Amino acid sequence: MKSAAKATQAEDSAETSTQLIRDSIRVAIVERRLSPGTKLSENDVGNLFNVSRTLARAALQALSYEGLVSVAKNRGAFVAYPSPDEARQIFAARRLVEPGILREAAARITPDDISQLKQLLLEEGRLMSERGQTARRAEIKASGDFHLRLAEISGNAIMQRFMEELVARSSLVIALYGQSTVSSCGHSEHGDIIAAIEGDELDRACRLMLHHIAHIEADLDLRERKSLGLKEAFEL
């Protein structure tokens, strides 16, 4: 792992408490151990991490800013439950920025980076063949990490942070609206993109990326299901 957040804020090892809680919850959300709508009470979070409500609250507020949890005044924090419209916006945003990130990344990529990416792919493939929840979760994370790694290579810390947010929220959307049991990302598509980068076929790489994102989105069933309507819920 290269140093990531170095340019933005020099934060040695620091801000342990709040940051740690925030990251823990975020990872839990990305790996879908926490489902959309789950209540995150300040008390419970605090107890879980052995800190006071103050820090738990700070962590939840930060997550709310990232769009991963939604806080309702006087009612508490919940794992975000993105609406279909929000979901569309998330993917629209990804279509908008990822080709650009890819271009910047391709311009600065080193052979070392490429081998690291391939390593990631291998890992992903390995996990895909395994059974079990933990493997599934690790796979989900790995497939997101591919996109994140690309952003990191691009060298733009701002875009990197933005992509982190988008990937995390995408995971929520897929958890909610994904239908196929198949893995979150078409694994082979990641490989194709790397190949295109290696071959200096930048335009093709971008096209592949757009296809890839469209592919993920196509697997969603973005229909407003507001409580399923009570009638539809019971009439078989």
Binding site for a second copy (CB under 8 A): 7-9, 11, 14-15, 58, 61-62, 64-65, 67, 70-71, 73, 83, 85-86, 89-90, 92-93, 96-97, 100-101, 104, 155-159, 162, 166
* Contact partner, 77, from a second copy, DNA, none, Cβ < 5-8 Å per class: DNA
Least CB distance to a second copy at residue 110 (A): 19
If DSSP codes are grouped into helix, strand and coil, which group holds residue 11?
Answer: coil
Least CB distance to DNA at residue 140 (A): 27
Least CB distance to a second copy at residue 101 (A): 7
Which CB sits closer to DNA, 40 or 205? 40
Binding site for DNA (CB under 7 A): 16-18, 41-43, 50-55, 57, 71, 73-77
Least CB distance to a second copy at residue 90 (A): 6
* Contact partner, 76, from a second copy, DNA, none, Cβ < 5-8 Å per class: DNA
* Contact partner, 181, from a second copy, DNA, none, Cβ < 5-8 Å per class: none
Measured between alpha carbons, how far is residue 195 from residues 100, 140, 210 in Å? 18, 22, 15
Q: What is the DSSP letter of 93?
A: H
Which CB sits closer to DNA, 56 or 176? 56
Q: What is the DSSP letter of 178?
A: B
User: Residue 71: which residues within 8 A CB-CB, separation 6 or more?
Assistant: 60, 61, 64, 77, 78
* Contact partner, 90, from a second copy, DNA, none, Cβ < 5-8 Å per class: a second copy
**Dihedral angle, C-alpha 140, 145, 147, 153, nearest 10 °:** -170
**Dihedral angle, C-alpha 122, 124, 125, 129, nearest 10 °:** 140
| CB distance 59 to 68 below 8 Å | no
| CB distance 212 to 190 below 8 Å | yes
| CB distance 70 to 80 below 8 Å | yes
If DSSP codes are grouped into helix, strand and coil, which group holds residue 76?
Answer: strand
Which CB sits closer to a second copy, 48 or 93? 93
Which CB sits closer to DNA, 57 or 95? 57
Least CB distance to DNA at residue 25 (A): 14
Which CB sits closer to DNA, 53 or 103? 53
Cα(25)–Cα(137) distance, integer angstroms: 14
Beta bridge partners of 218: none
Which CB sits closer to DNA, 57 or 137? 57
Least CB distance to a second copy at residue 189 (A): 21
